[in-house]
Chains A and B, each alone.
Chain A
Amino acid sequence: MSENKKRQDEFSYRYPHKVYGSLPGVHHGKSLGTGDSFAGFSDLFDYPDPRRLDLRASIRSNMATGRDNYLVKRFQQRSPITLWMMADLSRSMSISNVNHEQLAKLTQLVAHSAIGFGDRFGLAGFDSGLRHDVHLMPTRQRSMPMLAADMIREAGPANSAGIDGLIHAAHMVTSRHAIVFLVSDFCCDIDVLDKALIQLSRYTVVPVVWQHDDVNHLPSYAGWTEMCDSETGQRRSLWMRPSIKKRWQQTMDEHFDQLKACFMRHRVRPLFTDGDVTGEQLTNYFLGRN
């Protein structure tokens, strides 16, 4: 804990595609410039950089063509991407083990790692609509991790029930290359998620599925149980007994199976967590090790 205070936890990640951009970064890029991956030869006349002169290639070329040219090596430049954090701030995200504090920690972790890597970090909070108070355009400012975390910590409760803001938030992600962290408990209609994932299909999406404790899904195994929905406040009461518990478990399993199927459809690998997300977990995720 004391170590955490001293040094912010972080994770490393790779963007799987080649990035096009003029700015230098760490991810494999498509634009030519200073870099380490070879991208062919060019005439010294066109790219007058004598440091990159390749005499062997020049002689071979001259002998073949009979001309008298000098070739220079060209490289692909490494480029930055943007990490977007799409944070679900709906009411169901503030129950016991899944709460804004945890969300803020994760945001800080992602922002810190992104900016430390030279990438940009953007934040889009949503509930039933877009949360304008929890919103950051992509930035590289060093102070941003703390600010973003505080923004989430200080975010008020959702005005109305639902997660429809997910689609609006997806529209906000306009970067050319981005890894989108979609943090939610995904206790919502799969349709909405489906639409959002279609919208985000250009990007690498990392859904972080925050799993609630069973107690928060169903507070009792037996007897009279009165419940109220965290989102809508809708009241339900049940006489709990083994058969009902079985049905409930079945419904829940079905939902999460559908959720997994939906992710599978969109070629997205979810990260399941029950609260604390550590840098190590995310590193393992990006290494494909979990």
Chain B
Amino acid sequence: MTLFGLQWASPLALYLLPLLVLPWFTRTQDKTIVWSKFVPVDPLSNIIGFAFKTLASIVLACLILSLAGPYLPEKKVDRIGEGAEVVVLVDRSRSMDDAFAIKGQLLMASVGKSDSKRRVAKKYLQEFIDKRPDDRFGFVLFSDKALDLLPLTYNKETIRATVDASALGKGLSETNIAKALIKAAEMYQGQTYRGSRIVVLVSDGGQEFTEEAKQKIAELYKQQNLTLYWLYMRSVTGMTLDAKPGDNERWTTTPERKLHTFFKSIGIPYLPFEIGSMKSFSEAIATIDKQQYQTLIVEETLPREDKAKVFLIIAMLAMFLLMLAQMYTAWGVRKAHQ
């Protein structure tokens, strides 16, 4: 049922509304006095009396209306925002539990403590999410299997909770980036194109893909018009993704470099970040943040909104006034009887 532009959960309660007249008819506090001629005539009292009765009626009305359960139904609103659609791929492999950006001996580092790569990644991802209110996020955690923890959603609470949860526990042994990348691309499949689409890959290692996987990834990413960011949290100091003259010989064949070469070869917008310190991590995040501001249509679902609270608050305020008056009255009566 619709009334005052609100939906009513139990409109039957509205049949109680005639009770509003009660305060105008009950006279429970009547005191018999000897002669009413002694009682002064006071127009202000009439106004106050009228106000009290109105307040009492308002209280009743609000209580009855709140009983009737007013609510605004759930609705979807399209609005234009700025941002992007982001799928975050986080490596869940065991190496991510290692401490991040340590100088010196790797073996001395703590494992799975607050300075682990996963924790650090979590912290900066949270920041990133907070900075971008209009973005739509998806979240994939991967080791040897890709877990699409969160399909694309606008719900910030859910995203934050998912990112939080991703940093719990210990990592698994295997890493399968290819599967994760395909999963991420699949998340965009079947979605209407709203704005720029980003895949943020957070990992600390690379992997060589099979030809089949490479082909599929290239095809999917082009088709879905995706932008790829790779936050490479490197564990070996000194190694860069791009080959440089004077590089260590062994580095040329590392999976990281191979992966980097592959990404470059697909022909999609791609940007790697080699992250060696906290600072560079935040810079990387800031860069992504800056780059990806496009107008996009944001579909927002406004949840069913319970409006009973408003009525209850009004009733409470009115009741509070009445209570004050009542206390003053009680004091007055007590004083008169002393």
The 8 Å CB contact of A216, one of B33, B37, B329, B332, is: B33
Asked if A95 and B42 make an inter-chain contact with CB atoms under 8 angstroms apart, the answer reads no
**How many B residues, CB 8 Å from partner?**
30
**Residue A64 CB within 8 A of the other chain:** no
Considering only residues 10-50 of chain B, those with a C-beta below 8 Å from chain A are 27, 29-40, 42, 44-45, 48-49
B interface SS class = helix
Contacts of B302 in A (CB 8 A): none
Asked if A228 and B30 make an inter-chain contact with CB atoms under 8 angstroms apart, the answer reads yes
Asked if A222 and B332 make an inter-chain contact with CB atoms under 8 angstroms apart, the answer reads yes
Q: How far is the CB of A92 from chain B (nearest CB, A)?
A: 5
Asked if A217 and B332 make an inter-chain contact with CB atoms under 8 angstroms apart, the answer reads no
Q: How far is the CB of A235 from chain B (nearest CB, A)?
A: 7
Contacts of A236 in B (CB 8 A): 33, 36, 39
Contacts of B30 in A (CB 8 A): 226-228, 235
**Residue A60 CB within 8 A of the other chain:** no
Asked if A219 and B333 make an inter-chain contact with CB atoms under 8 angstroms apart, the answer reads yes
Q: A222-B335, A240-B332 are in contact. List 10 more A-B contacts (CB 8 A).
A: A187-B38, A221-B333, A221-B336, A224-B329, A225-B332, A228-B27, A236-B39, A239-B48, A244-B40, A251-B37
A interface SS class = mixed
**Residue B270 CB within 8 A of the other chain:** no
Asked if A215 and B40 make an inter-chain contact with CB atoms under 8 angstroms apart, the answer reads no
Interface residues on A, range: 35 or more
Q: How far is the CB of A281 from chain B (nearest CB, A)?
A: 22
Fill in one digit per residue for A201-228: 1 if any B CB lies within 8 Å of its CB, else 0: 0000000000010111111111111111
What are the 7 A-B residue pairs with the smallest beta carbon separation, nearest first? A223-B329, A222-B332, A229-B36, A219-B31, A187-B35, A247-B40, A239-B48
Contacts of A219 in B (CB 8 A): 31, 33, 333, 336
**In whole angstroms, what is the CA distance A229 to B42 when docked?**
17
Q: How far is the CB of A157 from chain B (nearest CB, A)?
A: 13
Contacts of B330 in A (CB 8 A): 223
Asked if B38 and A252 make an inter-chain contact with CB atoms under 8 angstroms apart, the answer reads yes
Considering only residues 221-259 of chain A, those with a C-beta below 8 Å from chain B are 221-232, 234-240, 244, 247-248, 251-252, 255
The 8 Å CB contact of A248, one of B32, B38, B325, B337, is: B38
